[in-house]
A and B are shown apart, each in its own frame.
Chain A
């Protein structure tokens, strides 16, 4: 060892493999339950199971086990790979030899206690002897090699398997820090801590031992909570030199490298465990933030509800009653529980429309949101368009197959789907109709044609062309997604007849020929298929919601008129890398995915397209701090208290006791300043 300071050579190496390290670190974080399965002729599909969507959440993912079970008998076991790779989080080894042997003693420990899929002894096939590019050769090149990029993509996808869009967010919000000196000081601390317990044991070195201890404390003090070089006190150079001397002397006293190494490994283990812990916690908090209601939106809904009773709006309905059922007008239907989102969808549609007096919007919501929406849309006018808010629960709709489910629970569904095509893994968010959509012909008995919009869209072009569109005998116009076909869904339905090459289609922007729908009695078909589908599985609230994807696809099989893909640009809630040229030219932007534009965690750049259509100057929005939908703060001042306590203690016990008293992983209602908690994590993944 050439002294405690980082030598320039080491530095260079570090710089270079930082990339590789990044890859690996991400990898090691997400490895726990990588499961790839269902390799069919050319691609494999999986359904993600980590997303714990409660009813009402609009992103669904289907339990992977289901699919696996259904597929098992059909596919030869040999062609299937059920890979469950869990890793002991072992960081990267710089001087690793290029040639690699088959793994024999991989110690598989999962990051999570529960893994959704059990491989049942079906161990992954041994890795062929392959030459792994030695990372040390990449080192000198600062530009990322293509292989690194590819593997980055892949790791991100794999990370999403487990943690969802948290991974995207996390990568995107990683900061470049100016912290070279901070790192050096940490390195010195790392070394000296490994030596200290040994020095302390050597007889006759009491004075020096004290000095080492003092130096460690000084160094800790020097570091304080500093994350950046700029935060260090000015005397750091002097201190670092002193420490350097202490380390040199320690080395001369202590030749037992094995012991030092052991200590170092312990310290390392600790850091790794802590890192894993934070990753889980981050993912948990992220989930929490996308699945709960922002307090500002909660406040707005409450205020509007209260106001709706205080100020009785002039009932404009009568004036519009005729227009609501006039089949010659352009009728748009939006199912929504979010007043701001539906307002943006409608506002953007009318703003982009050349002619608005023939536009009618039917906004269908549940009883919970009815009053606030009713009030809002009576308060504001959207050019000459008519807006009719209805409570879907008041229609007295019955679901013969509903298993006690309420229709409003299934207004919209979104499926996160893991796709592996020719080795290129991808995650797609497929929005589909909820069960309630299948009641459209009954809800609008007098109408012949409808355009159905999701509430997480922004319209940028005049949509009147949609009304002139010839559906050519089909029932629904929709943008198709041919990266996924009905054959890939076969684990999800029985032996029903279907054309396996049929592409799936997406909701968001759909034209519907109601006459044709009624003529073909598609609602009846849907009900029947749903029954068949549900007979395949246990009847729970979840399976009822899960069934909607295959059932909807089968119902409209052969009846979909594909819309030109330029109509909708989707994925603005699922990716940071949507093509910005596409944003300019698309008629409709669709924020399918977790990162909805009204959430803090929405993608900043894409939020701007959405925010343009918010109502300005609304006093209730102002009261509820909704005017300050501010960009994500890059630098967070809020640090967990006692951060420096995470520093290692001096004595033999190298693992700091996590002071559970000051930790926790959620601060939804009362608390803000927290670190971490073991309980909260285990609870999270038990559900």
Chain B
């Protein structure tokens, strides 16, 4: 039996020969169409499978991160209960300090955000970082910061379990509203709409996503005059990589419940780095506004409630644009997601998109900005085979 190789070789030969010898253009065109038809079919079948595999891949976690979480969890429980407390708990309520909030279940990502924020800060002793995580990851997250305190800043880890005020069915309600997409379902993602409840003693808080790196001192953000608005954020319309983004790109405004109340052409903004005035937020009852839109999404099949669409609706008319250099997006989208010069001058760089810096698929060009804050020599990281 001739091998596949030989067959292929023969095929190649005949193809090229036929290509030369074929004088009949009409027949050639037919052949071309046939080929196109085949490739298209192949392409569709594959893209179909790829989307399924993407779905599967989203349901997995890298062996390194799994190991890290497991190791930290067992170490945490190896401590006596009194050893499990992070230091300087009293500082978490002091309104005169700079409070950062991160919602995350990824220890490595959190550690980078915090390490970068502390090292870029001109006065890190006044930084208080609040990490909110779920009950599954709480022990591991706490253990990490017990082992690696970001001195002189202080860090506090809270678990969703601690929030007694949270509706009991919060998780299941979310699942109804947003469908089965686990990304959107994560209660951690949606807890950002409860910031005033999480921080009842604070007037201002800076929300950072776990896929950012801080490169400049952020204290001036607390002095930005929000002019009565609730949310200080950078806008994402015009210029840059996505010139055509408008509110209507995120929310289906043809929905009768939304029509008329929103300008479809208004400029959207980004989550990732937002300074929130919690007093104004409470005054305007925006958490209730969020719940209203979430409820609406549950009743609709036409649009799904991601945090950004809900945020755009909730903070509509309550957002004050910040200068672009505060927050640069696009580092998780591809090699041309952001210009190097922009990265250098940005205060916060954001790996939005799917090419997260902690994944194998990270964009090499931008990974260094993130990786420099990971201590790959850390014994636990080495033990778990997490390397650069």
Q: Which residues of A contact B (CB under 8 A)?
A: 1-2, 10, 14, 21, 24-25, 27-28, 31, 34, 36, 54-57, 83, 85, 87-88, 90-97, 100-106, 124, 127-128, 130, 132, 150-151, 154-155, 158, 170, 173-175, 183, 186-187, 190-191, 227, 257-258, 260-261, 264-265, 267-268, 271-272, 274-275, 278-279, 281-282, 285-286, 288-289, 291-296, 298-299, 301-303, 305-306, 308-310, 367-372, 423, 600-601, 632-633, 636, 638-640, 643, 660-674, 676-680, 683-684
Contact = CB atoms under 8 A, between A and B. Distances in A.
B240 to A, nearest CB: 10
A175 B356 contact: no
B224 interface: no
A93 B18 contact: yes
Contacts of B333: 660-664
B249 to A, nearest CB: 11
A302 B361 CA distance: 26
Contacts of B7: 27, 132, 151
B125 interface: no
Interface in B337-380: 337, 353-356, 358-364
Contact of B51 (A183, A640, A661): A640
Nearest to A25: B42
A668 B37 contact: no
A289 B60 contact: yes
B148 interface: no
A80 to B, nearest CB: 14
Given A173-B49, A672-B58, A103 B37 contact: no
B334 A679 contact: yes
Given A93-B18, A132-B14, A661 B353 contact: yes
B140 to A, nearest CB: 8
B66 A298 contact: yes
A175 B51 CA distance: 14
Contacts of B85: none
A57 B55 CA distance: 22
B374 to A, nearest CB: 15
Contacts of A130: 2, 6, 10
A106 B13 contact: yes
Contacts of A173: 49, 52
Nearest to A285: B53
28 contacts: A1-B30, A27-B7, A54-B63, A56-B385, A93-B31, A100-B10, A124-B5, A151-B7, A186-B40, A274-B39, A278-B49, A285-B53, A291-B63, A299-B136, A301-B70, A302-B69, A302-B70, A309-B74, A309-B77, A661-B353, A664-B355, A664-B361, A666-B360, A667-B58, A668-B58, A673-B54, A676-B50, A679-B335
B5 A293 contact: no
A445 to B, nearest CB: 28
Contacts of A264: 29, 32-33, 36
B29 A105 contact: no
Nearest to B109: A669
Contact of A674 (B4, B29, B137, B354): B354
A370 B78 CA distance: 13
Interface string B263-301: 000000000000000000000000000000000000000
A190 B32 CA distance: 10
Contacts of B27: 95
B225 interface: no
B9 A106 contact: yes
B337 A292 contact: no
B322 interface: no
A281 B46 CA distance: 9
Nearest to A663: B334
Nearest to B35: A91
Contacts of B18: 93, 95-97
A127 B74 CA distance: 62
Given A264-B33, A282-B53, A679-B363, A664 B354 contact: yes
B73 interface: yes
Given A285-B53, A668-B359, A672-B183, A93 B14 contact: yes
A260 B33 CA distance: 12
B361 A1 contact: no
A158 B42 contact: no
Contacts of A640: 47, 51
Given A666-B57, A678-B334, A150 B1 contact: yes
B43 A257 contact: no
B59 interface: yes
A36 B5 contact: yes
Given A370-B74, A636-B51, A639-B51, 17 more contacts: A57-B63, A83-B3, A93-B35, A101-B13, A103-B10, A105-B16, A150-B1, A175-B45, A261-B29, A293-B66, A308-B77, A662-B353, A665-B354, A670-B211, A674-B54, A680-B355, A683-B361
B48 interface: yes
Contacts of A92: 11, 35, 38
A679 B385 contact: no
A56 B13 contact: no
B14 A305 contact: no
A289 B26 CA distance: 46
B40 to A, nearest CB: 6
B345 to A, nearest CB: 21
Given A25-B38, A83-B5, A268-B36, A295 B46 contact: no
Contacts of A174: 45, 49
A683 B364 contact: yes
A124 B60 CA distance: 42
Contacts of B13: 100-104, 106, 127
Contacts of B35: 91-93, 268
A5 to B, nearest CB: 11
A667 B355 CA distance: 8
Contacts of A55: 385
A130 B71 CA distance: 62
A633 B52 contact: yes
A227, A281, A282, A669, most chain B CB atoms within 10 A: A669
A90 B43 contact: no
Nearest to A7: B30
A105, A643, A664, most chain B CB atoms within 10 A: A664
A187 to B, nearest CB: 6
A581 to B, nearest CB: 28
A410 to B, nearest CB: 14
A305 B37 contact: no
B13 to A, nearest CB: 4
Contacts of A97: 14, 17-18
Contacts of A674: 54, 354
Contacts of B71: 367-368
B12 interface: yes
A175 B359 contact: no
B330 interface: yes
Contact of B25 (A25, A261, A643): A261
Contacts of A158: 4
A667 B54 contact: yes
Contacts of A261: 25, 28-29, 32
Contacts of B317: none
Interface in B180-220: 181-183, 211
Nearest to A424: B1
Nearest to A308: B77
B33 A293 contact: no
A679 B355 contact: yes
A670 B354 contact: yes
A295 B8 CA distance: 42
A667 to B, nearest CB: 4
B15 interface: yes
Contact of B356 (A28, A308, A669): A669
B83 interface: no
A660 B10 contact: no
A301 B66 contact: yes
B323 interface: no
A684 B34 CA distance: 33
Given A103-B13, A173-B49, A302-B73, A285 B56 contact: yes
